[in-house]
Amino acid sequence: MKNLLSPSILSADFNILGSDIECVEREGADYLHIDVMDGSFVPSISFGMPVIKSIRKNSALFFDVHLMIVEPVRYIKEFSKAGADGITFHLEADSDPGRTIDIIHSEGKKAGIAINPETPVKELKDDIIEKSDMVLIMTVHPGFGGQSYIEECTEKIRILRQRAEKLKPGLNIEVDGGINIETIHTVLDAGANVIVMGSAVFGGDIAENMRYYKKVLG
């Protein structure tokens, strides 16, 4: 299975967002991770449809939109129209995840489902894993960039990869939060293949960071 790098623009410099995105695109980013926060599901508020619509004009990257919002089903059509290619929402925030996945698919987009660090993998029912294109294991408490990786999440990645081998071989398993030079090998060994990185890519020299992590991902 291919490893994919998804730089998270939450840690980009919003004053020069377009050129930061151009840089990661030029350096071979596979996805662009876009964190949408509503101040309710998570304590912070980030950005929404207008920003996505605007950056869509200058980027051909796969827009990996991570919705940290309550009852995401209300906004699937709008994020899809704004330019998302994949939409990931939280199991904890949705009363009917199967239906939300169907709606994302009916928009012609890839559907992902996310679980928080304290949510056990068993909360994801077999049919939800089977119909998802991606499962996102949060490796920090969602809401902010630059936090430390939560070690207990490694075992969750392993458990999910094992279940996916039976239910859906080739399932994309994404990890998000605290991934850097020290933790990247741990998540890859455990079975993750879509790697979100905010501060590790956008902190310092972006091109240099991209080259380093592209090499690690092979």
Q: Which stretches of the chain bind ligand DX5, using CB under 6 A?
A: 8, 10-11, 33, 35, 66, 140, 142-147, 176-179, 196-200
CB of residue 88 to Zn ion, shortest distance in Å: 8
Residue number, 47 or 98, with CB nearest to ligand DX5: 47
- Point out which span in 20-28, 35-43, 47-55, 91-99 binds Zn ion (CB under 5 A): 35-43
Query: If binding is defined by CB under 5 A, does position 64 make contact with Zn ion?
Result: no
Taking every pair of Cα atoms in the chain, the longest distance, rounded to a whole number of angstroms, is: 46
The phi-psi region of residue 204 (left if phi > 0; otherwise alpha if psi is between -120 and 50; otherwise beta) is: left
Q: Does 35 sit near Zn ion (CB under 5 A)?
A: yes
Shortest distance, position 194 Cβ to Zn ion, whole Å:
11
Give the separation between CA 65 and CA 67, rounded to whole angstroms: 6
Per-residue interface string for the shown chain with Zn ion, residues 141-180, x marking contact by CB under 5 A: -----------------------------------x----
Alpha helices in the chain (DSSP H): 17-26, 49-56, 76-82, 97-106, 126-131, 153-167, 184-190, 199-202, 206-217
Q: Binding to Zn ion by residue 90, rule CB under 5 A?
A: no
Q: Which two tokens stand for residue 10?
A: 């939450």
Q: Least separation, in Å, of the C-beta of 4 and ligand DX5?
A: 14
Q: Is 96 one of the annotated active-site residues of the chain?
A: no
Nearer to Zn ion (CB atom), residue 30 or residue 35: 35
**Per the residue annotation, which of 20, 35, 38, 64 is the catalytic one?**
35
Which residue from 110, 183, 97, 89 is spatially nearest to 140, judged by alpha carbons?
Answer: 183
Can 189 be counted among the known catalytic residues? Answer: no
d(C-alpha 77, C-alpha 82), whole Å: 9
DSSP strand pairing (172-176 vs 86-90)? unpaired
State the catalytic residues. 35, 176
